[in-house]
Amino acid sequence: MPNQTFTTTLNQSILTKPIISACNLNHYFGEGELRKQALFDINLDIYPGEIVIMTGPSGSGKTTLLTLMGGLRSAQEGSLTILDQQMCRANQQQMMQVRRQIGYIFQAHNLLTFLTAKQNVRMSLELHDEYLEQDIDGMSADILKAVGLGNRVDYYADSLSGGQKQRVAIARALVSHPKIVLADEPTAALDKKSGRDVVEMMQKLAKQQGCTILLVTHDNRILDIADRIVYMEDGRLADNPALTLGEPHRFFD
């Protein structure tokens, strides 16, 4: 029987065009003699609604690629299209326009600790003109309920546990219904159960909204939430037999 992930991806590639598409993408840090290539000839298409996990050893280029794919870093060489915008040589305004359609979740939750959970989520809606006329308090409270924090809406971020803070960060990233969510090591600071809860929450909300998730992780306990796993090594996308054989847990243990 054909591999389900492969079949899904194949169907998607026939029916839809990628929401993110990298073609022969290279990236360099430093200048002159210090210039060092961090990404080599990356070719990767990500389709609407997919959950893609990017994994691989430390220093292999995952965060560099994630930040490029999130419009947080200027693309230098090759082609990178995000939501129909070519990011190579894009100006600041074009990059900003792309970023407004993306939700971000980082290892550190980056909540403002002197604001409540609801106020933190609300801030994300305040950045979007289209929501200003709507009940943004109600929307913020609703999404906090959806991530299981209905009884913590008015708690200050400081008084929440690590897992609860990360759930607020998920609510903040998804409340504006972004087309893409990028997550960099979202479970790194969490214990096993909280980490699992957080990604399952993210998966559920994203599937409800038809949102695409690109997630970087070293955490092999969450690889199964992905529709597709891509593996990086030495700045290149690599085939990882352990992952394609459906035995992701073998690799890092």
Ligand X SMILES: Nc1ncnc2c1ncn2[C@@H]1O[C@H](COP(=O)(O)OP(=O)(O)OP(=O)(O)O)[C@@H](O)[C@H]1O
* Distant-in-sequence, close-in-space partners of 184: CB < 8 Å, separation ≥ 6: 63, 66, 105, 106, 107, 215, 216
Query: Whole-number minimum distance, CB 56 to ligand X, in Å?
Result: 6
Q: How far apart are CA 135 and CA 144, in angstroms?
A: 14
Amino acid at 73: R
Given the complex with ligand X, which of 26 and 97 has the nearer CB atom?
26
Least distance CB 69 / ligand X (angstroms): 12
Beginning with the edge strand found earlier in the chain, give each strand of the sheet holding 180-184 in spatial order.
102-105, 180-184, 212-216, 51-55, 228-233, 236-238
Nearest to 57 by CA among 252, 223, 253: 252
Report in angstroms how near the CB of residue 67 gets to ligand X at its nearest. Answer: 8
Q: Which amino acid, one-letter code, is at 80?
A: L
Smaller CB distance to ligand X: residue 62 or 165?
62
Please give the structure tokens belonging to residue 80: 């990178």
Q: Rg of the chain over CA atoms, in angstroms? A: 18
> Please, which residue, 95 or 174, has the CB nearer to ligand X?
95
Question: How far apart are CB 125 and ligand X at their closest, in Å?
Answer: 30
Other beta carbons less than 10 A from residue 72's beta carbon: 15
Task: At 97, list the tokens.
Answer: 């326009």
Nearer to ligand X, 64 or 203 (CB): 64
Chain residues that interact with ligand X, rule: CB under 6 A: 29-30, 38, 58-64
Are 36 and 28 in contact, with CB atoms under 8 Å apart?
A: yes
Beta bridge partners of 37: 28
Minimal distance, residue 59 CB to ligand X, in Å: 4
Which CB, 73 or 128, lies closer to ligand X?
73
What's the closest the beta carbon of residue 58 comes to ligand X, in angstroms?
3
Give 60 or 124: the residue with its C-beta nearer to ligand X. Answer: 60
